Structure 1
Amino acid sequence: MPFEGTITSIHQMTPQVKQFVIEADDEFEFEPGQHTTVRFERRDSDEDEDEQVVRPYTATNTPGSNQLTLAIKRYDDGTASVYMHEREMGDTVTLGDLGGNLTLRNADENVAFVSTGTGITPMMAMLKQYLEVGSGDVDFFYGEKNQENIMYRETLDQLATEHDQLSVVYSLSEEGWDGPTGHVQNHIEDYLDDLDRDFYVCGVPQMVVDTKNRLGELGVSDDRVFSEGWEDGEVEE
């Protein structure tokens, strides 16, 4: 059921991404990795009537408080992202209940998170959860176009310093630097000698499908690779 929350913090993370902290009356209950929806009405100029806009965004924080943290990238032709980037501190927004399939399955297994772009958002929540309750090693692979667009870099670097079991790998597809370049999924075997682990994948549909295919080629069983689950059909279309 939709509910209202108040924006209490706005932080410009990258040139195109803002982080919003939204507070509600009650404590949020959800599994890290699940998403809410931003809901609002806009005027449909073709139909000359209001239409309901509903878009999913994943919380990057863990449950246990009355706050949700959303990192939202602005697209010039993105109805909801433009709407959110125009919000100000103190504004009220309407959100939907949290849900989704991309959640941590087994905290006793070694894990690898593989993401690109804003696909990092569920990974941040699950990573925080794993570092609290997990008992194995965790490798975090993140791909972006260039350094200025890397989200949560300071947080990830700090977590890697604080937790010996965490390794973070960044790969850039449109900038030369002293780290890995190209598609991040192509570097999995460069950094993992042992593929006996659970893999969590999130990004644009083609990246998710390509990563699943690559993991299959490397001998990783399908039942150890987790994503939202709708990406295959999106690419086939």
Structure 2
Amino acid sequence: MFHRLHVADVIAETPDAHSLVLSVPPALADAFGYQPGQYLTVRVPDGNGGLARCYSLSSSPHTDTDLKITVKRVRDGQASNWICDHVRPGATLELMPPAGEFTPTSLDDDLLLLAGGSGITPVMGIIKSVLAHGQGRLTLLYANRDAGSVIFATELADLTARHQDRLTVIHWLDDTRGAPRDDSLGELLRPYADREAFVCGPDPFVVVARRALQYAGVLEERVHVERFDSVVVVTADATAEVRLDGQTHELHWPAGTRLLDLLIEAGLNPPFSCRQGNCGTCATRLTAGKVEMLHNEVLEEEDFAEGYILACQAVARSERIVVDYD
């Protein structure tokens, strides 16, 4: 259920990223209680009943009175661009209560945090919570294009100065070090291989980060991933019937999950390569139901007419979906 909350403040974090401070009335305090690392679902106008998107909370329930989400513009991002262009202090937004499982089980554990770009948003909530309400030591590796792209730069510097014995921040800037590579990141992460790891960022960063963690010796079961592209479509959970390798699988499809991720997590072996909507390796046929493609640079109109979709970019838009790889 969506609730209307007032925007108390809008903070320009970088030229492309705005934080919205949201006031929660006492009557909704319980509904909007949250854990560090969770997200809110925002509905923005689109001329067709509203468009819903997920944005992670950068605030901490242990340090912040109000909620805060941070929104970064993305190319052709209808929701993110509308928010950055139109939302001002005093505005009202429609939001669903907090959700998500990208949160540590204990604030006393030592954690290894990896963020790319706007992926710092939920990680920031975790950092503030651990430092304020726990005993854990934190190491953050934060990757960006350049220094001007670093969200929360001043806040991170302040936290590091105040908690030198517990917070270490490693900035990776592409303009000085090149794009992150699994081996170079892995060497930086090796001293922290015994920690739980939390990874958030765009898909290319997540892929490299997971390989780097493996290279460093971090056990797969200790790695927690939250992809955050600011364009995740939210709908109700769905049921997927998947025909693959001569077998039919019935799967629960959680809201906002990409089809390829769903299949991999279910232990299936679908074809894929780039995971960015660029190569077409993961293409499959949609024979029933509706999905939304988050990105596509390979399929043409005739492909869509024949029912083809990209599993790496497809999220559910109806209660039941059938896809056929055979």
The structural deviation recorded for 1:193 is 2.1
- Counting aligned pairs with the same residue, the percent is 26
Encode CA deviations 1:87-114: one digit per residue, 9 max, x unaligned: 1221111011110121112333321110
SS of the equivalent of 1:96 reads strand
Give the partner amino acid of 1:84: I
Change (3 A) 1:90 1:115: same
Quick one: higher RCO (CA 8 Å, sep 6+), 1 or 2?
A: 1
Q: Which residue of 1 aligns with 2:54?
A: 56
Encode CA deviations 1:177-202: one digit per residue, 9 max, x unaligned: xxx55317633522652411111000
Match of 1:198 among 196, 199, 217: 196
The structural deviation recorded for 1:227 is 1.3
The structural deviation recorded for 1:67 is 1.9
Contact 1:208–1:231 (CA under 8 A) maintained in structure 2? no
The structural deviation recorded for 1:231 is 7.1
Change (3 A) 1:29 1:51: same
Give the partner amino acid of 1:160: T
Q: What are the within-5 Å matches in structure 2 for residues 64-79 of structure 1? A: 67-79=66-78
C-alpha distance in 1 between matches for 2:55 and 2:158: 25
C-alpha distance in 2 between matches for 1:182 and 1:116: 11
C-alpha distance in 2 between matches for 1:207 and 1:19: 22
Q: What are the within-5 Å matches in structure 2 for residues 69-218 of structure 1? A: 69-85=68-84, 86-163=86-163, 164-173=165-174, 175-176=175-176, 181-183=178-180, 186-190=184-188, 192-218=190-216
The structural deviation recorded for 1:34 is 0.4
Contact 2:145–2:173 (CA under 8 A) maintained in structure 1? yes
Aligned residues, how many? 227
Contact 1:2–1:97 (CA under 8 A) maintained in structure 2? yes
Q: Which residue of 2 aligns with 1:233?
A: 260
Give the partner amino acid of 2:180: H
CA RMSD of aligned residues (A): 2.2
SS of the equivalent of 2:121 reads helix
C-alpha distance in 1 between matches for 2:99 and 2:22: 17
The structural deviation recorded for 1:137 is 2.1
Q: Which structure is larger by alpha-carbon Rg, 1 or 2?
A: 2
> Please, what TM-score do these two structures have when normalized by structure 2?
0.64
SS of the equivalent of 1:31 reads coil
Change (3 A) 1:209 1:182: closer
The structural deviation recorded for 1:209 is 2.6
SS of the equivalent of 1:12 reads strand
C-alpha distance in 2 between matches for 1:74 and 1:194: 32
Change (3 A) 1:184 1:133: farther
Change (3 A) 1:119 1:78: same
Contact 1:107–1:135 (CA under 8 A) maintained in structure 2? yes
Q: Which runs of 5+ in 2 are unaligned?
A: 228-256, 262-274, 276-281, 283-311, 313-326
Q: Which residue of 2 aligns with 1:17?
A: 17
Q: Which residue of 2 aligns with 1:39?
A: 43
Q: Which runs of 5+ in 1 are unaligned?
A: 44-49
Contact 2:43–2:51 (CA under 8 A) maintained in structure 1? yes
Give the partner amino acid of 2:210: K
> Please, what TM-score do these two structures have when normalized by structure 1?
0.87
SS of the equivalent of 1:90 reads coil
Contact 1:143–1:184 (CA under 8 A) maintained in structure 2? no
Give the partner amino acid of 1:67: D
C-alpha distance in 1 between matches for 2:45 and 2:59: 27
The structural deviation recorded for 1:224 is 0.9
The structural deviation recorded for 1:24 is 2.3
Return 161-170 or 76-85, whichever deviates more.
76-85
Encode CA deviations 1:135-189: one digit per residue, 9 max, x unaligned: 232101100001111011111111111112110011111x23xxx5531763352
C-alpha distance in 2 between matches for 1:31 and 1:42: 30
